[in-house]
Amino acid sequence: MQCNTKVDKVIIENGVATGVATVPTKPLAGDPPRRIFKARKLIIVSCGTLSSPLVLQRSGVGDPEKLRKVGVKPIIDLPGVGLNFQDHYLTFSTYRAKPETESFDDFARGDKEVQKKVFDEWNLKGTGPLATNGIEAGVKARPTDEELEEMKTWPTPDFSPSGWENYFKNKPDKPVMHYSVIAGWFGDHLDMPAGKFFTMFHFLEYPFSRGFTHITSPDPYEAPDFDAGFMMDKRDMAPMVWSYIQSRETARRMDAYAGEVTAMHPQFAYDSPARALDMDLETRNKYAGPDHLTANIQHGSWTAPLEAGKGAQPNWVTSNKATQREPLKYTKEDIAHVEKWVQRHCETTWHSLGTCSMAPKEGNSIVKHGVLDERLNVHGVKNLKVSDLSICPGKLF
């Protein structure tokens, strides 16, 4: 075990991995001191999706033309190193919550009384908000035939039928998208008004878009040329839009729902029925209390409150009542606004993989070029394996 140490490259002699060169984790003035560790039997690279391919490339394993351009002598011709980067890229949409809703907002915001209560429960019982990551529920879903037909009319319709039929249609175990509800605002609370929130995040389970990473010099401290490839394949757009619509309909039917945080949603036209609406007046008054003198004062069209849903009706099956809301209708213009929102706001889930894909060197139907064989051996090199999520040629869940 070597602490404060960064792997520079694997030493390859006559097609055999024989050792590893390392440098200090933090760059020092001048040429950094290098240490060589010789291997008796085997070297396993396990630096993660973003770093394992860079170690191989600095070792001379990769696309010969690209390696020469950055000053590295090619040893093994393996162009797949650093390609096929994948991630569950996602978007967040945040909603207002009623004051009685349990959330982590006051704790995260720094309310001393709430923080003491939460810390005490954790220290005494090991339970409470600190015993969870705040993700309260999740959904995996596939579009219906009617929804697939509707996608064909959207501004970017490439998923249906192309993406659906090529990958999903005959694989009923493969969900198209995932969305979950977070019990609060997942971010800096200085960016939010007072009150409580819940957040929906949504991502594609099996995106078509691919990215890459490649060294820019032999220097292990230099930042790589990295492109996550988010939304580079048009087949990903329609299901991303659909996932926002689906999660929003779920949010609107939750008892905690009290409107949208409009800045965290697409900027629809002012007169669109799909327009995001701020906190409803009843909830606003609950938060405000009798001494809040400016409650419900509005300036022009900056905010528009959520209208009440249909009143719940009693029935013979259950006494549980919930406000009813009709599904929102989206025009083609509305869908275009959602697409722009997706383009601006998609981000990582830190579920990255694929840059040292396990596949034949010449590739297959999943990847253009493989890096590892079925035993995790690097093609063309003896005694060298890679073992981390960079080996996965495609998403696992």
Q: Could you confirm whether 351 is annotated as catalytic?
A: yes
The identity of residue 294, as a single letter, is: T
Cβ distance 152 to 160 under 8 Å? yes
Q: How far apart are CA 74 and CA 367, in angstroms?
A: 22
Pairing of strands 212-214, 76-77: unpaired
| Number of neighbours of residue 14 by Cβ within 10 angstroms | 7
Q: Radius of gyration of the chain from Cα atoms?
A: 26
Q: How far apart are CA 228 and CA 179, in angstroms?
A: 21
* Phi and psi torsions of 297, nearest 5°: -75, 125
Cα–Cα–Cα angle for 267, 269, 270, nearest 5°? 105
Q: Which helix (H) or strand (E) holds 120?
A: helix 112-125
From 292, 299, 351, 379, the catalytic residue: 351
**Residue 24: which residues within 8 A CB-CB, separation 6 or more?**
4, 5, 6, 32, 33
DSSP E strands in the chain: the ranges are 5-13, 16-24, 35-38, 43-45, 61-62, 76-77, 90-97, 135-141, 177-182, 196-204, 212-214, 225-227, 257-260, 384-386
Cβ distance 225 to 53 under 8 Å? no
| Number of neighbours of residue 216 by Cβ within 10 angstroms | 14
| Number of neighbours of residue 342 by Cβ within 10 angstroms | 23
Q: Which residue has the tokens 């139907």?
A: 365
Q: Residue 14's Cα: distance from chain center in Å?
A: 41
Terminal-residue alpha carbon distance, the chain: 33
The token pair at 314 is: 């009693």
Catalytic residues: 351
